[in-house]
Amino acid sequence: MEPIRIFAHRGFSAAAPENTMAAFRLAAEAGADGLELDVHLSKDREVVVIHDETVSRTTDGKGKVRELTLEELRRLDAGSRFGREFAGEKIPLLHEVLELAVQKNLWLNIELKNNKFPDPALEEKVLELTARFGLTRKVIFSSFNHYSLRRLKEKQPEVDTALLYMARLIEPWHYADRVGADSLHPYWPTVTEEVIRSCRERGLNLRPFTVNQAREMRRLIRLGVNGIITDKVSLLSELLGKTG
């Protein structure tokens, strides 16, 4: 069995502003095997890394990401709300994170934020960018928009697609088969021993989110998930014996 991989949720977001290059670099330094990040399209169709549909929560600006140009987005401060030492951090472009992943030999979990505003162009652009950097085999595409994941799989069958979900689904492994997905990314309280065992028997990858408590980390490690998505990279790294 492969080792359990640590995915830093929006980067090392417990130590730096989420979805910034600072958070991604700190995640690599803290022992993360991979980065979890969120992507949207700007008004001028560039792939940018930010979680929300608007910029108001994480930056000093206002407005919808899809209604702002790249130039307008890059003028915003995405770090000061977390701490003064991060003043001037920018909303990254996806290609900047891909460059870092190549340099640091990191896996990527790219979440397509296209559930509220579906846009097939986002799917096409992320496939093209990851292929350009030679990362197709080290990227997991996830989304709450499962139609989008099915289209990704149809366009590029070798990619790993992961179904994000919050509910306590009945036999979610059967649903994954219907969609044609390779992985499940469930909200961690929904993950039972039966779910883990059944996924393992069917060759489905299971990577719960967002796991920040040591007790729950230990349970999932013991039961043998494939990866854990967390804000607390250092804590999980310590529990897995990847530090020191």
Residues annotated as part of the active site: 9, 51
Contact 53, 117 (CB under 8 A): yes
Q: For 114, how many CA atoms within 13 A lie in the half-sphere containing its CB?
A: 28
Residue 224, judged by CB atoms within 10 A of its CB (0-12, 13-18, 19+), counts as: middle
Residue of 4, 47, 1 whose CA lies nearest to 19: 47
Residue of 140, 142, 185 whose CA lies nearest to 167: 185
Q: Which helix (H) or strand (E) holds 99?
A: helix 94-104
From the CA atom positions of the chain, what is the Rg in Å?
A: 17
Q: Which helix (H) or strand (E) holds 161?
A: strand 160-165
